[in-house]
């Protein structure tokens, strides 16, 4: 892989587990190292725009390129939403 654009979020976990925005602001200001990156989607890979691909296909590719690291996590997929008509 030469280049990738990954959609994701930097988080800090609180004692209960979920992301804590106030703690994130403090961690960034204090340059703490308890930050995590949660990857959601892969938009470009090696100069190729992948947005026309199905989301699940992009997530499958993304799962294969994320290095095993406790500070980088792959988000869980949510079930598809039903169309409201």
What domains appear along the chain, each with residue ranges and CATH number? 4-74 (3.30.470.30)
Query: pTM to 2 decimals?
Result: 0.73
pLDDT (tens digit per residue) in 36-68: 888 999 999 999 999 999 999 999 999 898 887
d(CA 46, CA 82): 33
- β strands within the chain, DSSP E: 4-11, 36-45, 48-49, 72-74
pLDDT of residue 85: 53
CA dihedral over 21, 9, 15, 35, signed as positive or negative: negative
pLDDT (tens digit per residue) in 11-43: 887 677 667 777 888 887 887 667 888 899 999
SS3 8: strand
pLDDT of residue 77: 67
pLDDT of residue 38: 87
């Amino acid at each position: 892989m030469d280049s990738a654009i990954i959609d994701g979020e930097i988080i800090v976990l609180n004692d209960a587990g979920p992301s804590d925005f106030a703690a994130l602001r403090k961690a960034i200001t204090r340059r703490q190292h308890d930050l995590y990156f949660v990857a959601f989607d892969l938009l470009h890979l090696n100069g190729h725009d992948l947005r026309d691909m199905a989301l699940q296909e992009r997530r499958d590719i993304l799962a294969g390129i994320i290095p095993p690291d406790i500070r980088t996590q792959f988000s869980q997929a949510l079930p598809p939403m039903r169309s409201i008509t």
